[in-house]
């Protein structure tokens, strides 16, 4: 298009015109195809159009701003018009367009129409796209590009790539390399933070624009791969968990049998000592030893049961469950864990419909979170707040979507367990749902991992927020079936 602009400028100079405007009519409106020398007078273009349509082929004097011009028009077709303007000091011109000039103008209009179609296509493109001059100044960008940047058109127009991608240190050396080598270049998984503070992961593809051997600018494709990266990491995590599950299942079954023998013999020997009349120091020591063996065997048994639960596939037996009733039942059972002056606060938002869930599995989740919260709190001033509310989330806020859940519904129920306990160190939060990771001295590291897998099997997810010394909040998000 640059060569056409140059040729249009030369045509104006050859005709001796002060300005030249080529317009195309679409429906009832005229749109500029190309112009040269009109920069100061574009506001008066509407006035010129009215006169040119009424007097095609004629020339007349007109004031544009404070200057006098002789203007006129030439219709190249029913929907293509050329407006010419001459300095008023010259005599009335005799404009003669050669056939080559007319052919050029028709070709220019055709190319402009194709460029317009291309721009509309690029604006609707599902990835970010931009064009820049050789200095990096942006002269074209599409809507998706603005969405990725978190900016509006005025904030981007005329800026350089280095300004709009502030903080992306990899951009500058790549653009220098692009100019030197004249080859396509790629940048993958680059961290970017938009003006609102939202962190994104971007892929860049830069390509040079050449005129002969001269570098005249470059284009770029920018793709937001944040969600894709998250999904990829989730898939890898699921694969890791699946492998661990198969391993622990086989180990658990192998250990369970000899452990049962150890526990059984320890219990049998202790019972014999209890029934005997021996009360010597050795007998007391043996009795304490047997009690410790029993307790340790029980603890190992609990670990093995968790391992087996963890390794089992989550095959759900869904039924219609009133969430409020289920939580009241679980919290009533969970009071056996409360100590001292610890107490419970429960709030339930009205209007939440029954859910299709596996009642036994969800009871297991709620009970586990209750027990964890109670154990983390001070026994004299601990408060556990359980709240249930309905929320609507956008697609960007949903880390997982069940294949059966329609995206346009976006309705979820959030069940939160908030305690004022010791909290979780910030460096351990990211690992809190990993299997075998625990912050408890006697923990198995499987309780929260099992809870998470159960919630995921229901098409939901779990989140945690915590501040050390002030408490933690575990939130469960489950999709709601919304009536149309």
Whether residues 349 and 280 share a domain: the answer is no
Q: Residue 323 has what pLDDT?
A: 92
The conformation of residue 462, written as its DSSP 8-state character, comes to: E
The predicted-structure confidence for 212-271, as pLDDT tens digits, reads as follows 777 778 888 888 888 777 666 655 655 665 666 666 667 766 777 787 778 787 788 878
User: When comparing pLDDT for 83 and 374, which is higher?
Assistant: 374
Whether residues 337 and 203 share a domain: the answer is no
Q: Residue 414 has what pLDDT?
A: 94
Whether residues 197 and 307 share a domain: the answer is no
Q: Of 416, 399, 421, 272, nearest to 342 (Cα)?
A: 421
Q: Residue 52 has what pLDDT?
A: 67
Q: Of 186, 187, 175, nearest to 215 (Cα)?
A: 175
Distances (CA, A) of 141 to 128, 187, 208, 432: 8, 19, 16, 42
d(CA 343, CA 334): 11
Whether residues 39 and 180 share a domain: the answer is no
Would residue 456 count as lying in a domain?
A: yes
Name the burial class of residue 464, with classes exposed (0-12), middle (13-18) and buried (19+) by CB atoms within 10 angstroms of its CB.
middle
Three-class SS of residue 44?
A: helix
The conformation of residue 354, written as its DSSP 8-state character, comes to: P
Percent of the chain scoring above 70 in pLDDT: 74
Whether residues 394 and 410 share a domain: the answer is yes
Which pair of tokens denotes residue 55?
């007097």
pLDDT tier at 366, thresholds 50, 70, 90: very high
pTM: 0.44
Secondary-structure percent of the chain, ordered helix, strand, coil, rounded to 5: 45, 30, 30
Question: In DSSP terms, which residues pair with 224 in a beta bridge?
Answer: 202
Exposure string for 191-206, b = 16+ CB within 10 A, e = fewer: ebeeeeeeebbbbbbb
Name every residue whose Cβ is closer than 8 Å to that of residue 250 and which is 6 or more positions away in sequence: none
Whether residues 116 and 151 share a domain: the answer is no
Q: What is the mean pLDDT of residues 109-129?
A: 70
Three-class SS of residue 472?
A: strand
Would residue 442 count as lying in a domain?
A: yes
Tell me which residue has tokens 């075998």. 436
The alpha carbon torsion through 93, 98, 101, 106 (nearest 10 deg) reads 110
CATH number, domain with residue 261: 1.10.287.130
Residue 401 has pLDDT above 60, yes or no: no
Longest distance between any two alpha carbons in the chain, whole Å: 137
Three-class SS of residue 151?
A: coil
Whether residues 117 and 130 share a domain: the answer is no
Q: Of 24, 22, 12, 31, nearest to 86 (Cα)?
A: 12
Would residue 54 count as lying in a domain?
A: yes
The predicted-structure confidence for 411-459, as pLDDT tens digits, reads as follows 899 999 999 998 988 888 888 887 777 776 666 667 888 888 889 888 8
- Geometric angle at alpha carbon 460, from 459 and 462, rounded to 5°: 150
d(CA 50, CA 424): 74
Q: Domain tally for the chain? A: 4
CATH number, domain with residue 380: 3.30.565.10
pLDDT tier at 207, thresholds 50, 70, 90: confident
CB contact at 8 A, 448 and 432: yes
Would residue 351 count as lying in a domain?
A: yes
Report the chain's mean pLDDT, rounded to a whole number. 77
Residue 388 has pLDDT above 90, yes or no: yes
Residue 365 has pLDDT above 70, yes or no: yes
d(CA 264, CA 40): 99
Q: Residue 35 has what pLDDT?
A: 72
Q: What is the mean pLDDT of residues 9-34?
A: 78
The predicted-structure confidence for 165-175, as pLDDT tens digits, reads as follows 776 777 777 77
d(CA 140, CA 122): 10
The sheet carrying 138-141 orders its strands as 138-141, 128-133, 214-224, 199-211, 185-193
Would residue 484 count as lying in a domain?
A: no
Whether residues 156 and 116 share a domain: the answer is no
The sheet carrying 19-26 orders its strands as 29-36, 19-26, 80-87, 67-77, 59-64
The predicted-structure confidence for 127-156, as pLDDT tens digits, reads as follows 888 888 877 787 778 888 888 888 888 788
Would residue 334 count as lying in a domain?
A: yes
Whether residues 150 and 203 share a domain: the answer is yes
Instruction: From 178, 203, 224, give the residue that closes a domain.
Output: 224
pLDDT tier at 345, thresholds 50, 70, 90: very high
Tell me which residue has tokens 């064009």. 131
Whether residues 341 and 271 share a domain: the answer is no
Q: What is the mean pLDDT of residues 328-357?
A: 89
Residue 405 has pLDDT above 50, yes or no: no
Would residue 142 count as lying in a domain?
A: yes
**Nearest 5°: phi and psi at 399?**
-70, -25
CATH number, domain with residue 70: 3.30.450
Q: Of 231, 233, 230, 225, nearest to 148 (Cα)?
A: 225
Distances (CA, A) of 324 to 104, 317, 347, 355: 76, 19, 9, 10
Residue 91 has pLDDT above 50, yes or no: no
**Nearest 5°: phi and psi at 415?**
-110, 115
Residue 404 has pLDDT above 60, yes or no: no
d(CA 180, CA 174): 10
CATH number, domain with residue 189: 3.30.450.20
Instruction: From 192, 224, 256, give the residue that closes a domain.
Output: 224
Q: What is the mean pLDDT of residues 287-300?
A: 78
Name every residue whose Cβ is closer than 8 Å to that of residue 300 and which is 6 or more positions away in sequence: 255, 259
Would residue 411 count as lying in a domain?
A: yes
- Geometric angle at alpha carbon 429, from 427 and 430, rounded to 5°: 90
Whether residues 283 and 362 share a domain: the answer is no
**Domain around 152:** 126-224
User: When comparing pLDDT for 327 and 215, which is higher?
Assistant: 327
Whether residues 109 and 168 share a domain: the answer is no
Instruction: From 71, 89, 122, give the residue that closes a domain.
Output: 122
Quick one: angle between helices 226-275 and 281-311, nearest 10?
Answer: 150
């Amino acid at each position: 298009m640059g060569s056409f602009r140059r040729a249009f400028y030369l045509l104006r100079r050859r005709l001796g015109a002060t300005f030249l405007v080529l317009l195309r009519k679409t429906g009832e409106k005229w749109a500029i195809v190309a112009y040269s020398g009109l920069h100061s007078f574009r506001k008066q273009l509407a006035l010129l159009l009215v006169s040119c349509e009424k007097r095609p082929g004629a020339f007349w004097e007109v004031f544009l701003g404070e200057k006098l011009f002789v203007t006129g028009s030439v219709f190249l077709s029913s929907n293509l018009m050329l407006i010419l303007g001459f300095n008023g000091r010259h005599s009335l011109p005799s404009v003669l367009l050669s056939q080559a000039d007319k052919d050029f103008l028709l070709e220019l209009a055709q190319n402009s129409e194709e460029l317009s179609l291309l721009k509309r296509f690029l604006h609707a493109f599902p990835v970010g796209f931009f064009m820049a001059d050789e200095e990096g100044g942006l002269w074209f960008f599409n809507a998706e590009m603005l969405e990725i940047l978190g900016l509006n058109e005025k904030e981007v127009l005329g800026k350089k790539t280095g300004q709009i991608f502030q903080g992306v240190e990899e951009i500058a050396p790549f653009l220098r390399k692009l100019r030197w080598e004249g080859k396509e270049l790629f940048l993958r998984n680059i961290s970017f933070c938009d003006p609102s503070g939202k962190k994104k992961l971007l892929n860049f593809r830069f390509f040079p624009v050449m005129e002969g051997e001269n570098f005249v600018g470059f284009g770029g494709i920018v793709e937001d791969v944040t969600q894709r990266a998250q999904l990829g990491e989730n898939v890898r995590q699921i694969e890791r968990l699946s492998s661990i599950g198969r391993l622990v299942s086989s180990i658990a079954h192998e250990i369970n049998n000899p452990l049962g023998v150890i526990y059984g013999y320890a219990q049998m020997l202790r019972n014999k000592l209890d029934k005997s009349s021996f009360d010597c120091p050795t007998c007391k020591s043996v009795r304490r030893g047997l009690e410790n063996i029993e307790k340790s065997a029980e603890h190992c048994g609990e670990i093995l049961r968790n391992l087996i639960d963890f390794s089992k596939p989550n095959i759900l037996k869904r039924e219609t469950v009133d969430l409020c009733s289920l939580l009241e039942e679980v919290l009533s059972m969970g009071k056996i864990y409360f100590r001292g002056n610890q107490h419970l606060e429960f709030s339930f938002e009205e209007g939440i419909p029954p859910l299709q869930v596996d009642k036994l599995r969800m009871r297991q989740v709620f009970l586990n979170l209750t027990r964890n919260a109670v154990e983390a709190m001070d026994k004299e001033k601990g408060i556990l707040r359980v709240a249930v509310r309905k929320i609507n989330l956008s697609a960007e806020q949903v880390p997982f979507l069940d294949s059966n859940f329609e995206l346009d519904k976006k309705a979820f129920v959030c069940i939160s367990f908030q305690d004022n306990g010791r909290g979780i160190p910030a460096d351990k939060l990211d690992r809190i749902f990993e299997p075998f990771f625990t912050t408890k001295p006697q923990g198995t590291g499987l309780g929260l991992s099992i809870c998470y897998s159960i919630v995921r099997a229901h098409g939901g997810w779990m989140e945690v927020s915590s501040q050390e010394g002030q408490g933690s909040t575990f939130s469960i998000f489950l999709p709601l079936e919304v009536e149309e």
